[in-house]
Homo-oligomer: A and B are copies of this chain.
Amino acid sequence: MNGSLQINMSEILSLSDIRKAAARIQPYLHRTPVMTSQAIDKLSGARCFFKCENFQKVGAFKARGALNAVLSLPDESLKNGVATHSSGNHAAALAMAAQIAKVPAYIVMPGNAPVVKKNAVESYGANITYCEANLQARENGLADIVAKTGAEFIPPFDDDRIICGQATVAMELIEDVKNLDLVIAPVGGGGLLSGTALSTHYLSPNSKVIAAEPEGANDTFNSFSAGKLIPVEDPCTIADGLLTSLSERTFAIIKDYVEQIVTVSDDTIVSATRLIMERMKIVVEPSAAVALAAILEKQLEVSKLRIGIILSGGNIDFDSFYSGKNGV
């Protein structure tokens, strides 16, 4: 089963592909605001512009890619619904996209996924199948569902339509904020990061793209350093949206269009999460705070720079986070 589709396999995704994605999804999604914080500017010495995808539908940028993929499908492929395996935001995003397209969604989720993410998927009327918390169980569960229903598999990141959808985040940021020196995005499977790198390359070529990655899931850092894909074996981080490793497709874009990969500790991710919530009064999940964590760890020279920071989502399990069940 290889359900990932290609818009354009021979060439890098074009600006036109990204613009088409933007036009396709725009009627259904929020143009999220860009926020600033004097407190964080003071602390960092930089001028930070936060692109707030925590305010996006389903509480994360994943709504963009999933909706672009679903709305790109021909009716014939769409008629039996769509399916995926995901522990989190992609699941809710695909459920929402299916609801918009008025087709069923079949989601395979690990039983230990955060409650807030399970509830979100249910609220969009998706059919959930729970499985064990490992990739093999998830893939087997998905294969069963697809065989039974004929649903179309929509992968979470290894898909050109997904990358084009996620690329619209940086496209909007660049439209709203001029002369950015840096754009920092978190990296898990690389859908958001590769989309960010492409939009920045086309629309703000003088801005450098930096990836922020948890130390406990540092396959992008290792792959980037080695010049070849090196998946991480046993990822472990509080940033539960960034456990996945890159695919060949996302790595191919990242190695050419990303300037640097910065890894950050879970302690700093927790501090950054708290800082954003306490000072900016907005809710973010730890995965979203990883880009600010890269600044807080002072691994980058940011003094007086204009920095676009992508806050990827806001689906935090408050009780786990503040009770210390996630090691906080």
Contact = CB atoms under 8 A, between A and B. Distances in A.
Nearest to A321: B322
A238 to B, nearest CB: 15
A177 interface: no
B318 A281 contact: no
A282 B323 CA distance: 20
Nearest to A274: B318
State the main secondary structure of chain A at its contact with B. helix
Nearest to A38: B57
A116 B323 CA distance: 18
B283 A277 contact: yes
Nearest to A277: B283
A278 B322 CA distance: 14
A121 B322 CA distance: 24
A76 to B, nearest CB: 32
Copies held by the complex: 2
Given A55-B281, A283-B282, A322 B318 contact: yes
A81 interface: no
A: contact size bracket: 10 to 19
A318 B277 contact: yes
Contact of A314 (B281, B318, B319, B321): B281
Contacts of A274: 318
A323 B282 CA distance: 20
Contacts of A319: 322
A281 B116 CA distance: 12
Interface in A292-323: 314, 318-319, 321-323
A323 B283 CA distance: 18
Contacts of A277: 283, 318
Interface in A251-296: 274, 277-278, 281-284
Given A322-B318, A322-B319, A281 B281 contact: no
Contact of A281 (B278, B283, B321, B323): B283
Contact of A318 (B54, B55, B59, B318): B318
A4 B291 CA distance: 47
Contact of A59 (B59, B281, B284): B281
Interface in A32-57: 54-55
Given A319-B322, A323-B323, 6 more contacts: A59-B281, A116-B278, A277-B283, A277-B318, A278-B283, A281-B284
6 contacts: A278-B283, A281-B283, A281-B284, A283-B283, A318-B322, A322-B322
Interface of A: 54-55, 59, 116, 274, 277-278, 281-284, 314, 318-319, 321-323
